[in-house]
Amino acid sequence: MTPGEATMRAAASYERGLEAVTHLIDVADEQTAMRLRAAASSAGTDRLAAGSLDDHATDRADAVFARTVLLAERRWNPSGDLDELIAIHKGLFEGVFEDAGKLRTSNTTREVTNDRERAANPEAFFPAGLIETGAHNIATELADKRNLHALDRDVFVHALASLYDELGYLHPFRGGNAMVLRIFGSRLAHDAGWDLDWGEVTREEYRAAKHTAYRGDISAFEDMFDRILRPANPTRVFLIAGWNQGPAH
């Protein structure tokens, strides 16, 4: 997802303290509306496409990006459980997609995805009816590990990679899971004394690590996190590192 120039100019003004985040939201929503009208026109219909919460939803990139910045400013309850994931998902997509903050109800994800074979496989993700149970188990494990606090660097990297793998399999939402995981992981790392420099991660690297983990090997996630992990800067809003690349890779 790549926001348009007008949205990025508004974001730069926000970063310099010249405009409030609400101005960024207004500009981004206007740009999104223009993209949607153009998409509907090119499709030969006045009906806007339903869209999906994934990297194919480029016509909504501006709105999602602006809400990422808004989420960083207003924050949310860092509960370390499913409620936190839902809060992040709702914050990112409310007003953009109808299923913002709603859990997946099907054992397969949306048809429009960058991995159609996996999307159509009911065993590719955690059973939809057990998402709350699975999330509770992951949250309990995370709490037992003190939310990854006070760990040596190599131990933290392995623990974060394992958590990413587990939450990726849980796949609690129809779409937008990668964006939610990025923000959740960044918040978790920051509170544990580390920052993640997502600007160093390419889309291809992230997808390759995700697919490797799906096959039972988290080493690519470990390598990625080892490279982008930095000691936390307490004066820096954690989410803004790499923010000008958009909400997710």
Q: What is the pLDDT of residue 108?
A: 65
pLDDT at 52: 44
Q: Using alpha carbons only, what angle is made at residue 203 by residues 199 and 208, rounded to the nearest 5 degrees?
A: 120
Q: What angle do CA 224, 184, 209 make, to 5 degrees?
A: 25
Residue type, 16: R
Contact 212, 205 (CB under 8 A): no
Q: What is the token pair recorded at 116? A: 């159609």
Per-residue pLDDT, 125: 87
pLDDT, residue 37, reads 81
The domains of the chain are located at 5-245
Nearest 5°: phi and psi at 129? -70, -10
Helix (H, G, I), strand (E, B) or coil at 230: strand
Cα R_g (the chain), whole angstroms: 18
- Looking at domain 5-245, its CATH architecture is Orthogonal Bundle (1.10)
pLDDT at 102: 96
Taking the chain (249 residues) in runs of 10, the rounded mean pLDDT of each run is 86 91 91 82 48 56 89 91 97 90 81 48 79 98 97 98 96 92 95 93 91 93 97 70 41
